Structure 1
Amino acid sequence: MTALALCTAAACAIAAPADPLKKIDGNRLPTLGDTARQVLSPVVERRLGEVIMRDVRRDAAYLDDAPITEYLNNLGNALVSSVPGARGETNADFSFFAMRDTNLNAFALPGGFIGAHTGLIVAAQTESELAGVMSHEIGHVSQRHIARMLGQQKQDVLLPLAAMILAALAAKSSSDAAMGVLMGGQGLAVQRQLNFSREAEREADRVGFQIMSAGGYDTTGMVGFFKRLQSASKLYDIPAHMAHLSSHPLTAERITDMQARIRELPKKPRVDNLDFQLVRARARVLQDESVNGRRDARTAFEAQLKEQHRHQQAGAQYGLAFLALRQGNLAEAQSWLDKARATVKPKEGVLSAESNAGDGATMFAGLALEIKLAPGQPQPVVQQAVQDADAARQRYPLSRALARQYGEALIAAGRYDEATRYLRDQTQLYREEPKLHDMLAKAYARQGKIALQHMALAESYVMAGALPAAVAQLELARKAGDVSFYDQAVIDAREREIKERQKAEKEQLKDF
């Protein structure tokens, strides 16, 4: 996974809980007392995660795809909300994201940042399998395994922040690379840490089981997925794409423990959300857009079309539509999208468990808008996209992806005044979305409002944690020919705030 996660070398270097065999009573997760808090405060832990995420977001493999990110956050936060105490004593604010990588991997970073590789999303055969892996990662965060590891490393003076960042990035492709980075200069502590890793993983297993069970998922999914990986690893001696196992060995004891827990739980048949199949298809296309990658994706979708389950068929049709869009074949993209919608449309007067299990409506609407807003579309189509996007965001008000697409449609249609009014309101309501500030900057640029453009970009950089770049944008805004007296005052005040934040972060992280 990553240097700090369920599936990394460093995860196998996690300090043990005070009582790893402690029984979880009722629906409440075990508490940790003051041990982790004494060595790493929740504030510092979150800041540490934010620092690492700055590098992760700049990595070419970071997948900034709104539908996939929205799905992962809906799935992850629903799991977190299913059990009291899942956020842990720090009340962690979880954030989920994807990395463009064929490795079967997922990982947790300090402060509640959890990532999943596209390879893992594609390989999961059911939503419960994906939920099982994500629940395990949530378990690591809620039990503060990362904080304990970092706190112990701080005592040994063996984990500089730079090494941790490098390991987090290296682990995305190879857990062995992550191990190499982390073990540099740390030999004295490795064996002591490895002695504790099994207990931490068993605790994360138990917490993950409780979370996914409370969330209504089939707990056999976790074991099924792990056993499938283990069988493959025996044939191939744990190849690189099995990073989940090479950095997070699944012992027979752990499998037996998980199977015993499954027998104690009532069976919970579950129909997967259609969104799961659509996200899998989207991830398959985006993880490798080379000529060979696209050919392999098409072959996989054509094989999936032959499946009996309608959700599988619709997922393949959606994938072919998205693949055609990425190749610029807009008519073909629309044709496949229409087929996907027709495949899952309930027959008149018929309501099935399948049709109630999440109809993929927001993802269908989003792809339809992507097609209408694609380069080469005539203006009447783009103007229609504005109306469609407005209707979609009002029909599905919880979808942040659709809300942003409405802003994109206004800009594409040349309705810049409407775009800036809408996006200003959005940035006030959703202050932690860098994309909104990027779009606002784009709209200001089209209007020729240079000072406001740079001010909006500065806010985007602040959201991304790139504080020096934010200060540079404010300086450009200060020098713009159209800057007003009011703008100057805002720029001065914002610059002071950013510099104070830089100073505070250095103080908080100086020991790491």
Structure 2
Amino acid sequence: MRNITFRKLFIVLTCFSLPIIASSQSVNSDKNKLPEIGVVASDTLTIDKEVLVGNAIMRQLRGQAPIIHDPVLNEYIQDLGNKLVVQADNAKFPFTFFTLNNSTINAFAFFGGHVGIHSGLITQADSESELASVFAHEVAHVTQRHLARANQAQKRSAPLQIATLIGGILLAMADPEAGVAAISAGNAGAAQSRINYTRNMEQEADNIGIAMLARAGFDPQGAPAFFGKLAVQNRGSSKELEFLRTHPVPENRISETRARAATYGSRSVPPSLQFQLAKARVIARYEGNPQRNISYFAYQLQNQQYVIREAALYGLALSYFEAEQYASAYQILSELLANQPENLFYLDAMTDVYIQRNMPKKAIELLKPIWSFKPQNKVLALNLANAMIKDQQFAPAIQILRDILLVDPEHYLSYTLLIDAYTGTGQKREMYKASAERFSLVLAYPQAIDELNFAYNETGEDYLEKQRIKARIQQFRNRMETLERL
């Protein structure tokens, strides 16, 4: 399924700290001993309030940042992140992992278990262990509540203001034309001053992240390998890498990370097909141009310069698709699916090919048998619903999407497809209601209320439905007031 973005506005988040950390069983547990997470910074920001603030920031990001709403990539990075979270101590809430369409190397975390990465991080990592080390570091920042603790250390007595939090601490506007995440020295310095991270906090995230990485079964050496590679790239660059600007990397810190990882030894981890497919997908769909990418993947295949052949073939198929050479994409994907008929990367791409060739029924035939055994899988469900909408099978598509939203009521892409489905059926009231919910996901409550007022005008004599809509309008107004009180 193709990516859907709300608005093309590049945003950079000055994040917690270096993403290179990883893993495993605590050797020297005393050195890793930290304050009880339920108590730390509780007088500044409670866990409940942290979740509330984090959700508000996430909604703000959906409306302003180039978040990639790509079901296949989303599932991959969420699964990867979850492998690390289950190894984390003091995880007080579910974590949400997401990707920004930005070729720079960066990662960030903020309140409530939200961890974001730039797509460039995926393409620049050489192994899944390197990518996982970034996730582990950011997860450690969240579990140790570093932002809340920094806020406490500064003894701020004024209530947290969402606008200040987003504008002054986490977000800085980037150059949308160049697509480069460049923060001015003044903004970066001010943000760094406000966050005021200490070396101890960075060391905590480094040590805990490396232990987490090892426990999750990744190679602990992925952390210093990626860390060192970034430092080398930065030395030869006239412009400092964005990741290193927001994650300072002094030489002694690199050596400390290497020493820490060495205590866990190295682990032979076979190349990950899922990682290589994700990497190929980002390159083919979000970087470069189709002709350049066709040449890139064709060269890899001709010269056997790939880690996994199937991933290079997949990248070539996606590049053909982007170049509207659908027959060539179909041929490669047919070969890949013959060997792995349930691979979500391949199924998603083949669905897109069928839809572009005006063959949505073929996509439904491909997906439905697999979906019937895995109805909770979002990649299968979203692709099937999309194909059904294109085939004007609106009723079953609506049911699939509503089932997704019962489990994940903040799933942006589901609302986008649901609006299309209701529009196709002429159900204006339901379309307005779905549109209102989507506006609420980007903190656009005034617009959401407007949509509900339109829905109210479509209710006729349905008294109960009118009451439901009025109650939802009041909920949105209450949320606006709650945010103002933060």
Q: TM-score scaled by structure 2? A: 0.86
The answer (yes or no) to whether the contact 2:317–2:333 under 8 Å persists in 1 is yes
Contact 2:18 2:249 in 1 (8 A): no
Q: Distance in 2 between matches of 1:3 and 1:366?
A: 33
How far residue 23 of structure 1 moved from its aligned partner, in angstroms, is 5.1
1:100 and 1:287 in contact (8 A); partners too: yes
Please provide the CA RMSD for this pair: 3.1
Q: Distance in 1 between matches of 2:118 and 2:461?
A: 44
User: 1:387 maps to what in 2?
Assistant: 365
Matched, 1:472 2:450: yes
Q: Structure 1's 34 and 174: CA in aligned 2 closer, same or farther, altered over 3 A?
A: farther
Whether the 8 Å CA contact 1:451–1:482 is kept in 2: the answer is no
Alignment of 1:21-60 (within 5 A): 24=29, 31-32=36-37, 34-59=39-64
Which residue number in structure 1 is paired with residue 261 of structure 2? Answer: 262
Stretches of structure 2 lacking an aligned partner (at least 5 in a row): 1-11, 20-25
Distance 1:483 1:445, change over 3 A: farther
- CA distance in structure 2 between the aligned counterparts of 1:69 and 1:506, rounded to whole angstroms: 31
- The alignment's TM-score, normalised by the length of structure 1, stands at 0.82
Aligned with 2:156: secondary structure? helix
Residues 398 and 269 (structure 1), Cα distance of their counterparts in 2 relative to 1, 3 Å cut? farther
* Displacement of 1:266: 4.2
Does residue 501 (structure 1) correspond to residue 479 (structure 2)? The answer is yes
Q: Which residue of 1 aligns with 2:351?
A: 369
Tell whether 2:172 aligns with 1:170: yes
Q: Structure 1 stretch 210-219 or stretch 423-432: which is displaced more?
A: 423-432
Deviation for aligned residue 1:60:
5.5
1:460 equivalent among 421, 435, 438:
438
1:174-205: CA deviations, max 9, x gaps? 67616533645x8xx93x965x5322111111
SS, match of residue 99 in structure 2? strand
Aligned-partner Cα distance in 2 for 1:438–1:193: 36
2:309 is aligned with 1:304: no
Q: Distance in 2 between matches of 1:26 and 1:145?
A: 17
For structure 1, the 5+ residue unaligned runs are: 9-20, 347-358
User: In the alignment, which residue of structure 2 is the partner of 1:64?
Assistant: 69
- Answer whether contact 2:109 2:142 (CA < 8 A) is retained: yes
> What amino acid is aligned across from residue 404 of structure 1 in structure 2?
L
User: For the structure 1 residues 61 and 436, does the alpha-carbon distance in structure 2 shift closer, same or farther, using more than 3 Å as the test?
Assistant: closer
In structure 1, give the amino acid aligned to 2:52: R
Secondary structure of residue in 2 paired with 1:134: helix
| Aligned-partner SS, 1:442 | helix
Structure 1 residues 433, 130: CA separation in 2 closer, same or farther (over 3 Å shift)?
Answer: same
- Residues 398/250 of structure 1: CA separation in 2 closer, same or farther (3 Å cut): farther
Residues 451 and 477, structure 1, Cα contact 8 Å, conserved in 2: yes
TM-aligned CA distance change 1:336 to 1:163, over 3 Å: farther
SS of equivalent to 2:147 = helix
Shift of 1:465: 3.5
Matches of 1:491 and 1:459 in 2, distance apart? 12
Relative distance call for 1:22 and 1:422 in structure 2 (3 A) is closer
Structure 2 match to 1:17: none
- The structure with higher relative contact order (CA 8 Å, sep 6+) is 2
Give me the whole-angstrom Cα distance separating, in 2, the residues matched to 1:484 and 1:226.
61
Could you tell me how far 1:341 is from its partner in structure 2? 4.7
Identity rate, percent: 27
1:12 corresponds to which residue?
none
Q: Which whole-Å CA distance do the structure 2 matches of 1:419 and 1:387 have between them?
A: 14
Shift of the alpha carbon at 1:295? 4.0
Q: Residue deviations 1:116-165, cap 9 Å, x none?
A: 11111001010000000111111111111111233445617698643542
Cα distance in 2 between the residues matched to 1:160 and 1:72: 30
* Change beyond 3 A, Cα 1:33–1:62: closer
Aligned residue-pair number: 464
SS at match of 1:155: coil
Once the two structures are TM-superposed, the CA of residue 481 in structure 1 deviates from its matched residue by 6.8
